[in-house]
Structure 1
Amino acid sequence: MTAVPILLKHQSAARARAGLDTVALGLPATLIVVALGWRLFGTAGLAAVAVLGILSLTVIAAWRSRRFDRRWLIGELDARIPRFEDSTALLFRDPATLTGLATLQRDRLEGRIHEAAAVDLRPDWSRRAILIAWGAAVVLIAAILAWPKSDGAGTRTAAPARSAAGAAAPVLTGARLRITPPAYTGLPVREQTALDARVPEGSRIDWMLDFAPHPSMAGLEFPENTPISLIRDGQRWTGARIVDRSMLYRITAPGLTQQRLNRLDAIADAEPVVRLVDPQSQLIQLTPGQRAWTPVFEASDDYGVIETATLRITVTQGDGENITFKQRAMPLRGQGTAKQLRFSTTLDLGREGMAAGSDLIVQLIVTDNRAPERHTVEGPSVILRWPANLAMAEGLDGMAMRIMPAYFASQRQIIINAEALIARRRTLTGDAFTDASNVIGEEQAALRLRYGQFMGEEAEGGGSGGGIILPTADAPAAPALPTADAPAPRTRPEEHHDDHEGEDHADEPAAGGMGEEVDVLHQFGHAHDDRDVATLFQPQTRSALARALDAMWASERELRQGWPEAALPHANTALELLKEAQRATRIFLPRVGSDIPPVDFSRRLTGKREDIVAENPETPERPPADAVAADAWRALEERPGSTSAPLALGALDRWVRANGGRLADPLALRAAIDTVRNEPTCFDCRRRLRALLWTALQRPVPAPGRRGAPGARGQRYLDGLR
């Protein structure tokens, strides 16, 4: 079996460090014993004690180095290097004995062996113990050399002290946490003395604990995870764990006072965020003469974005159900810092196959540098639309008009657009401001025409007041709507007839497609009277709609003249009138047939009211979902002269586990419950638990209150009604 030399170097370095650490710790004791032997037995004693001391140091150093074996090396490499994927053992096996996936995995690991060169597996120096040992050695050697004669009293008096110390309960005297974030985060290794920590998800935490005196064993207890046994390394106890989710833990040792639960919060890696920089809107129209388009995206992430992204490009052609599309992907390289990259490219519209009626859709797909599983995010889609009705006459490109489909507009949206235009007045020139106001006026006109068909108006009819403009024989034809509808034929009054039999409605207008104006009256009903007086509404509803059309007409007039401030009052009036018309046309029907109780004719007209109202049935009492938490909150209340109610901490802990998904901080609640269980006399702990329970309880749903009893005057009124 052939081992990888670069990995074996870590084992040799760890053994050497352990041996040197042992020598540094044991040499002061050896020197003390040598000085004592020389003082008691002369040169012969000095030589004998020196040989024995060196042999003892050699044996102890070899014994301490034994734990740095092949198994230890494999475990440390798996824990320190995530890219080894817990498969380091394959590197120490004979390649001839491997088959299938094991061979492929070993080949992958051999390509990642260089990552092990930057890992330091040597144990830490026992600095504190070494300093104490050498300081004590200097003091004791000086005392031994100053003795007038040899005496063993010191040895006899030291034994009871060590015995007493060995019988004392251990106490946690020091603690340090070394936090090693995952490599992809780029964060440095840090140390802290606090036992609570917030670390990136996947971080490795090394505990370094000091006890006085040392217990026989020590460990870390995790309520919902496998416990960890600490290993004594000189004067320090160490252990490590990968934190892949938030958890609680406690330090344990025989004879050690019960410790409170500490928490480790694992901060999950956020997905990258893709933002559209240019254009400002996700739907834009092609400008006359435009031949290229440069969309710009920005991607950001908490730890970094991969420099190379993918731009998905889709081109659609056709109309209705005959739409075809072609899609391709283009790699893009970002510019900027690793945490914030900007991606852009210039697309040739002719090369992409754009034509009248086509849409060019682009979407950026980015990936962060998370390991081992990366986050892939698709950004917002941006549409460049080439409308089929976009006229571009030679020399008149600046007069081309962009018309959006009518179904994009609503009265509320027109008000929002007008307010936004007023806010932008300072940034727009006079002509640009007037043009933008005129575009909103066109949207107002299209919406007015859509509502006008319910009033029996012509294509360019206005409201029902002075704003109505009817076409005459000499008047020019009304401009077409921004849809593909043809004007509906006008029904003449003399064509009215009452008999429906033998009718042929084949010539009635068909339903419009998406974005087209629909003649609702002729499509869904029979119009046999004059269209100018035909309506689907009641007279009061027709009046409200007519006034709304008048307000729309006034709003349109002001907008087309570039006065959006003057148009806003009319637009708001139109919106309120439309709401009034909508409320008036609502019809409420019962879902099932009425079930009226039979009439008792024997009591009819007698005035007897006994037993005509059923008694209110008793509603079964159902305990609320938070009954356990509410009872615990009440039991934790502190009132003068009251005794503490018993706490069902076991049931409360089960309630927290069952409802952890909706609680804001379940770990804090569980830690507070554990503290109150172990320290029942801690009033501050009880107050903290009660405060956390208050934030965890669900807010009750507001319910209508029962009407109060009427007063004397009200009762006389009710009696008069009877």
Structure 2
Amino acid sequence: MSTPESIHILHQIRGRYVRAKLWLYALQALAAIVVGLAILWRWQLEVSLLATTAVTIVVAAVLYFVLGWRAVTKTSLQQVARHLNRQYPQLQDSTELLLKAPENLLQQLQQQRVAATLQQLHPENEKIFTLRSTATYTLLGVGLLFSAGILYLPAAPLTAPQPETIKVDFPDNPVTAADTAVKIEKTEITVTPPAYTGKGTYRAQNPNLLIEQGATVSWRISTTKPAILQLQLNEQQPINFKKQGNSYSLSRSFTTPGLYTINLNGQRSAFYTLEIIPDEAPTIAIQKPEQYTEILFGQPQRVTLQAQLTDDYGIREANMVATVAKGTGEAVKFREEKINLNLNGNPKNYAVKQTLDLQKLGMTYGDELYFYLQAWDRHRGYTRSETYFVQIEDTTIVDNSFDLSMGVNPVPEYFRSQRQIIIDTEKLLKEQKTITRAQFEERANNLGVDQKLLRLRYGKFLGEEFESGIGPGGGIPEGEEHYKGDGHDHKEFEDKNSPEALLDPYMHKHDQEGEATIFEPAVKAKLKGALAQMWDAELRLRTHKPKDALPYEYKALRMLKEVQQSQRAYVAKTGFEAPPLKEPELRLTGELNKITAPSESKTIVTEKQLPQTKAALQWLATYKQTGKYKPTDAAILEKAGQELARQTLQKPGSNLKALRDLRMILTAMQAGKTLCKTCLVTVERAWVNLLPPATPTPQSQQAVRSRLSQQYLKQLNQK
């Protein structure tokens, strides 16, 4: 049995390991806590971001130590025994036997041997485990150095970077004394988008604004001294700012683009653009179905709808408007219904995928469905898709143009009978589980009889007097003899020179399958194919397999419809043809003395385009030659500048430099200074581009020809 001394040794080893491990965890946590406390001590919660970081570091370090302590204290004597087995091979991997009672004599002897060996090793005097503490001490040193560096930083607390103020240019501002001039210290422009955009308020980075339609723009300007601030939009009446000490504010909503200036004590700033981002209407793209879809008989009466709905700010509502048309002629009835759409995705990009069950909409054979999608965005946008058509084929209608010639009745009920056989077959399959086996077989056999009767009716049009055999071949029914005088046309004649034998190749024999000529060969082939499908359907109905007979019934109905369509007759349209005129007899024989030539007078007033701009260009041409100007000439340039500004409103952002240079020219003219040459070039180029293209005027040939060409022509004439 294990001795108390051995158990005591195991406990001592476990205790030393737990204390050493906890010491390492404490040092690692202390390194992080020192850094966090240094940050809190240095900036004293003045910067929220740094304070949050410091608190996070301290809390994480404490949690790290607590979790490490819980993990280390769970170290058991079993783990200590396994560690001793790995450390000392002399224990023969049997240290764990000291922790349990021996079950036999062999275990008892092994326990005694292990206990004696463990006492001889004297583990309390040896280090039986190794903990890597170098990295821990290094981490602690780095933390202490980092904390010392934080404490010795400059005393000024960190502050969040302030956004740069917006600069407003005043090119016309005259030079004044520094102590008396009014200046703008700070300009803030805040844009509040409308609610339909789902965006929050943001600050503009420059005076040239690009905002959402209906957004509210707020200007907040601070000046060094009290002043008069105004906002002038599109050369309209200026709007005064609200004064609050040396701070001025103005808010306004915009829906149209334009140009604006800020006036400070009558001095106008440069022109700035105000562009609008319009709210686009939703877009609807329908992938399925096609714009016209026809559901044939036997196909599932369902339509798959796939569409994509997108909008720049989000779709508020979307649905489908479906109209069901029932009946024909004057008895048509319409019923409209709104259907909710299954919208998947985010509001800016919805994907629609759902199935329309036409039977749930109350549709049946021959009915039509007209539907379209419509969507509204969060503002005023509305979009409606094109109308799509879905029609269920009606096999009960037979065109009046169905003509079998020879006075044969078109028999529309035959088509209804084939369709009725299909309906009865589907009904039998649905009721199969609710009826007995005998009833099921009896009804299937009755359907086979109906299919046979229908096949025989159609066989008459191919000259079948008797029921043909299954497959392409035909024959005489069993038990019946084939003899002369039985009513059939026999090709064997006793006298081959008789009139009957001679006329036999040229006779119409409608009572024979191969000789029936009621239809054209292509139509007859389709009708034979339909009869073959009826044979296959009858075979499976007679053998009580209506499910297998259903595909053949569908195909037979389809081929009968093709026969119907192929027999349509089209008549060319005829119109009235006038008799030819007798031109030689009537031409130039009328009296024209009472006929006068039409005369009409109309005065066209030519409106001069951009008269002020043309006047300014003439002034610029004169100034280039003389280099002189009068103070009163500024009015000419001012009026031309207004025309340039009005044209600039149509294309915001263009000619801004020309307007600024024009303002500098006007300021220089008022002060009597020399005009800027580069500014004159820029303004002249803008005015020239503003003028419409000149109308080319024809010139005489003599004016176009040069002197050299005239000499050349003269020499040619002399020769």
Measured against the shorter chain, the TM-score band is 0.3 to 0.5
